[in-house]
Structure 1
Amino acid sequence: MEFWHYEAEQVLYARWYGNLTAIEVIKGAQQATALQSWLHCPLLLNDKHQSTGDWSEAMSWLEYEWLPRALKDGLRAVAYVFATDVSNQIVSTEFAKRVQPHLAIKLFYSVPAAWGWLRRQPLPRQRV
């Protein structure tokens, strides 16, 4: 997993690789949340297009542990890029359904489309 911070856009870009398990997804989400909190990024580009795997066992943790913390730390929108793996797409769709009542989230098949949507999201006022 790799992270990039785009300060001007207030985006944390998380790129996932390889076959993902629930444990790997939880560890990656913990890292992303720590970075988001430290960098004050309200926008997340979650790019799984180079990954595979069924990480559905992490779903409850993501919903009940990750989501409240991410919201508390200021996350406002997630652009989510699908993996090409169909089983991963099914889990990703379920994840989006669970968080959508609390957070703006949209699913994409390409990184450029995800960036375009993120750029149209309202940003909080900058801290002075």
Structure 2
Amino acid sequence: MGDVYVTIQHKEEYIEAKWQGHITADNVVSASLAFLELLKSKRCSKLLNDKSDVTGDWQEANDWLQFEWLPCAMEAGLRFMAHVYSFNMFSQLAARELQERITPEVSMKSFYERPLAEEWLRKQDDTAAADQRAATA
């Protein structure tokens, strides 16, 4: 309907995706493609994925995110994702499933509070992620 459902912007230490409204799997795919373009141009290793203001079940996007988007995002430099949960049960379930699918390739942690997500993301170090991936390989 032309409503804005995500705002993506480059911050000093990470890229932020701030979601709002009722979202679908198609919305997640479209926004993830836009995020990927910004990631390629900025070569940023961190994503703050804030879905605290959404409703909707976007779980159908998880296959695409795991098998299509994730390899491209990792090639462009993504290593860490802090996810801020929605209080919507369906959105939480989709996020939990995504975390199971993409860890340990990307270090993903979910939070109920945005300040905690930002703090965790700022503390992440690219060399630690490389060591963790090597240890699990």
The TM-score, its normalising length taken from structure 2, stands at 0.86
What count of residue pairs does the alignment treat as equivalent?
122
Q: Does 1:5 pair with 2:10?
A: yes
CA offsets 1:76-120 (integer angstroms, 9 cap, x no match):
100000011011101110000000121100000011000100111
The answer to which structure has the higher helix fraction is 2
Instruction: Quote the Cα distance in structure 2 between the aligned partners of 1:33 and 1:110.
Output: 25
The answer to whether 1:108 aligns with 2:111 is: yes
Q: Quick one: which amino acid aligns to residue 69 of structure 1?
A: C
Query: Which amino acid is 1:118 matched to?
Result: L
Structure 2: tracts of 5 or more residues without a match: 1-5, 128-137
Residues 61-88 of structure 1 deviation map (CA, whole Å, 9 limit, x = unaligned): 0010010000000001000000110111
How far, CA to CA, are the matches of 2:56 and 2:102 in structure 1?
20
The runs of 4+ residues in structure 1 deviating greater than 3 Å are none
Gaps spanning 5+ residues in structure 1: where? none
TM-score normalized by the length of structure 1: 0.92
Superposition pairs for residues 26-41 of structure 1, below 5 Å?
26-41=29-44
1:117 paired residue among 94, 115, 120: 120
2:55 counterpart of 1:49:
no
Shift of residue 4 of structure 1? 2.2
**Alignment partner for residue 90 of structure 1, among 88, 93, 114?**
93
Aligned-residue RMSD, C-alpha: 1.0
SS at match of 2:104: coil
Q: 2:24 is matched with which residue? A: 21
